[in-house]
Amino acid sequence: MDGFRGPCWDWCDGVALLDAGLLRARVAGGEEGGAGFSDIRWPGTDPSLAKLQLLSVIGSTKGAEVRLPKGDAYLRGTDLVRTHPSSPGFAYRCQTYRSCRALPRLGGVALTLTLSLQTNRLDGSPRVAVRSLLDDAHQLGDAPVVLGHSDRVAIAPLPDDAAETSFAVDRSGATLWFAPPFLEKGVIRRAQFVAILAPAPLVAETVQAALVELATAPLPLTT
């Protein structure tokens, strides 16, 4: 896609800045352990896109939300990686990998999030919220997809993770609850989520085609 290039990251006062040519965004650091993409800039979008917050990560224990502990951050290839240790409130080590990809057929881009979960317990059932704040959010029919921002933003798990993801949607945004039924000590469970940005309103067929395209990319090398 003209004007889009491989993502580069930079740092400014603890904030990670994403620069992919046409697409720019930021990921806050500091005590905001699971902060997502914000201050998004992309040609052809109105200024309100910059107010969206996409793909934040929050833990959950016994029905109560738990902010992830502040984690170390570093770059691996084109991914911004954060490692959040387990804590008394959330017994899972969580790594997040953030990047972006061009979607030439759609004329759009995708912000990407890969989760990697581990536990030191003999077994467990993690529950993680992937939250996005966007206006006019609504589910796309019966599909595991949330549309918003005049239907030009779609939030979804990749197809292999849809069965273990449930949705809570209101007009201000969406929470995708990722809850694999079982995770044992020594096992790494990975899942991928995306925010698709399009120049025109999205429909089921275009979203599905984009998700299939994104699913062909290899997973980041997680640890």
Is position 151 within any domain? yes
The predicted model gives 97-126 an average pLDDT of 86
Instruction: Decide if pLDDT at 223 tops 60.
Output: no
| Domain span at 177 | 54-215
Least confident of 57-66, 111-120, 126-135: 57-66
Q: How many domains does the chain have?
A: 1
| Residue 219 pLDDT | 67
Q: What is the CA radius of gyration of the chain?
A: 16
For residue 122, pLDDT over 70 is answered with: no
Any domain includes 29 = no
Does a structural domain hold residue 138?
A: yes
Whether 43 maps to a domain, the answer reads no
Residue 145 has pLDDT above 60, yes or no: yes
The angle at the Cα of 122, spanning 119 to 126, to the nearest 5 degrees, equals: 45
Using pLDDT thresholds of 50, 70 and 90, give the confidence band for residue 214: very high
Per-residue model confidence (pLDDT) at position 67: 86
Asked whether residue 222 carries a pLDDT value surpassing 60, the answer given is no
Q: What average pLDDT does the structure give for the chain? A: 86
For the chain, strand residue ranges (E) read 4-12, 15-21, 23-27, 37-41, 53-61, 64-66, 72-76, 79-84, 93-103, 108-118, 123-124, 128-133, 138-139, 146-148, 153-157, 165-170, 173-178, 183-184, 189-197
* In a domain? residue 76: yes
Residue 147 has pLDDT above 80, yes or no: yes
How does residue 217 score in pLDDT terms, banded at 50, 70 and 90?
A: confident
Identify whether 11 is part of a domain: no
